[in-house]
Chain A
Amino acid sequence: MLNSPPQRSAALLAILTVTLCPALWATETKLGDELYFSGHATLGALYTETKDAQFYRNLNQRNADFDQLTLESDSRLGLRLSYRPHKMIGGEVQLITRYGLSNNFETNLFAASARIRPGNGWQLGVGILPLESFYRSDSIHVGYSYLWARPPVEMYNFNIANNFEGISLQKRFFWGTQSLSGKLYGGVLGRQYSTHPNDQYDGSHSPLMGLTLEYTGEHLALSYGWVEFDMADEALLTTKNNAFLAPPEGGDAALLQLLFDSLVDNTDISYQYLGFAYEQGPWRLEGAAAETDSGLRVFQDTYNGYLSLGYRLDNWTPFAMVSYAHNNPPHSLRGNLPAFIEGVILEGVKAAQAEQTNLALGVRLDLSATLSLKLQFNHIEEAHSDSYLWINESPDWNGTANQFSLVMDAIF
């Protein structure tokens, strides 16, 4: 944990140093006979041109600065250690260091799993596994793997989980240059998580299950995914100094739990998406559409999508992207709830509203086979001044903002 600005700067400097040494790298380094080390690093500078609202990249990261440059939102470092003692058996551990809710750089275990590949296209995974509910962003932290400075926030910043504890079973069929794969997975969220610096939830017993179908052809890839979370055993561990969830004066823990239970009306949240990628010559077109069906009163059903077009000119790939997120109107409040709970829910619904359009223009420059530089401009228009995608909005904010990003991505 880095507790002071000098420590944070030192961490950033370390990332920068690693990032700028591509000559030392291969895409994967052999440490022993069967032990391999690899990783990714991103140094990102982001300037959000508004004084009226603070931007955050995702729910696990709510730091933002008013109208000034930040190196914290997009910078991160990921490490991966894999062990392949046999052609059929392997294991891996992944760590990710990024700026988090504590307003510091935090290192978390992202994946730790064993894989068995008995052949005939079968693969079994057990352990902490990446959550594949987000098309082409199952490696969402690996900036080098996509064109943009950051994946569209309208599509990807709603998720509270990138991984889970459980098991996955995959079968792949292939003919010619085409393949079709199906994956079933299930388990539990398996950890505590936060959606705000002052709140912490226990999701260690929250089950989830999902399905991913992927078709890959020579030029076209299609992907469909569905995942459902059951938040039946979710428990609010802490809430403090939070106007949204704080009970009225004189409120006690039981009242607080009643409040939380009221927010979680129906405990299921399901998410499904359909995505595609088409690559022909220098052209690269991809997009996805998704729907979140929420049983939580404060998080309404959400629809999001994006479309991205890139054209490769030698090492340069200019691109344009448009992304969108929209909430349904709030559900009516059901049951006889105390007035203060209704008020809190309505406040929560209001804070979670989003109808946002984001236009991005940028260019990716591949400096080498392991290092890329990206420049990106975003113009964002948000219909609700009090939005889920922004915090600390001024009442005078007109809902528009421009962003400028300069990102260096590397793999090693």
Chain B
Amino acid sequence: MAWIKRHCRLLQVLIGVTWLLAASAQAEKLYVVVNAAVEVESLSHSEVLNIFMGRSQKLDRQQIALPLDISSDHPEKAEFYQALIHRDLAEVNSYWTRVMFSGDASPPRQMDTYEQIRQVIRNNLGAIAYLPESELKQLPEASYRVVHVLGE
């Protein structure tokens, strides 16, 4: 009986640790950023959705948007689209193949690394991308502006 109780307690501890780890993983925020020179203070959830799903092409009244995606082997991409439109990557890709092959719009530009994304954000006024906090810290503060936060 004691053996069962001891193992039940161990199981409870394991479940608790797993829950905490899962909760902390879910809580990781993704920062939607643009070039600091763009006159956009913030974007709503629907504005970010429209830009990344190809419905809207503008950041503001003047600036044409250049959305950037990290490649699919980065888990943040799946987290971003789950938080943005509650769809997994297979469904997002299914959507984009329809739109792309019908010529209506092009998907966000795929970048292999966050370094490439940071570089485009620094050098392109229309660029818009999402970054986890660890990657955002590597971007000089004067070069970007956070316009939306997902996962809050």
Which A residues have a C-beta under 8 Å from some C-beta of B? 26-30, 36, 38, 40, 78, 80, 82, 84, 87-88, 90, 92, 94, 111, 113, 115, 117, 119-121, 123, 125, 129-130, 132, 136, 138-139, 141-142, 144-146, 170, 172, 174, 176-177, 179, 216, 312, 315, 366, 368-370, 372, 411
Contact = CB atoms under 8 A, between A and B. Distances in A.
25 contacts: A28-B107, A28-B110, A80-B101, A84-B106, A87-B66, A113-B103, A119-B64, A121-B57, A123-B104, A130-B103, A138-B101, A139-B97, A142-B101, A144-B93, A144-B97, A145-B98, A146-B94, A172-B55, A177-B46, A177-B50, A179-B50, A366-B88, A369-B90, A369-B93, A370-B72
B90 A142 contact: no
Contacts of B102: 130, 132, 138-139
A27 B101 contact: no
B97 A174 contact: no
B100 interface: yes
Contacts of B109: 30
Given A141-B101, A411-B97, 13 more contacts: A27-B72, A27-B96, A28-B100, A90-B106, A94-B101, A113-B103, A123-B104, A125-B103, A136-B98, A144-B93, A170-B104, A179-B50, A372-B90
B7 interface: no
Interface string B105-131: 011011000000000000000100000
B58 interface: yes
B49 A177 contact: yes
A174 B56 contact: yes
Contacts of A78: 101
Contacts, number: 104
A142 B98 contact: yes
B83 interface: no
Contacts of B42: none
Contacts of B92: 369
Contacts of A119: 57-58, 64
Contact of B64 (A80, A88, A312, A370): A88
Chain B interface bracket (under 10, 10 to 19, 20 to 34, 35 or more): 20 to 34
Q: Which of A28, A88, A113, A216 lies at the interface centre, i.e. has the most chain B CB atoms within 10 A of its CB?
A: A28
Contacts of A315: 90
Contacts of A170: 104
A132 B101 CA distance: 11
Contact of A138 (B50, B90, B98, B107): B98
B57 A117 contact: yes
Given A28-B110, A38-B100, A82-B106, A174 B55 contact: yes
B111 to A, nearest CB: 9
Q: Which of A80, A111, A129, A172 lies at the interface centre, i.e. has the most chain B CB atoms within 10 A of its CB?
A: A172
Contacts of A117: 57, 64
Given A179-B50, A216-B55, A92 B103 contact: yes
A120 B58 contact: yes
B89 interface: yes
Nearest to B101: A139
Nearest to A178: B46
A30 B111 CA distance: 9
List 6 tightest A-B contacts by C-beta distance, closest first. Answer: A138-B102, A369-B89, A145-B98, A139-B101, A366-B90, A177-B46
A121 B56 CA distance: 7
A26 B98 contact: no
B146 to A, nearest CB: 21
A150 to B, nearest CB: 15
B90 A368 contact: yes
B98 A139 contact: yes
B57 A370 contact: no
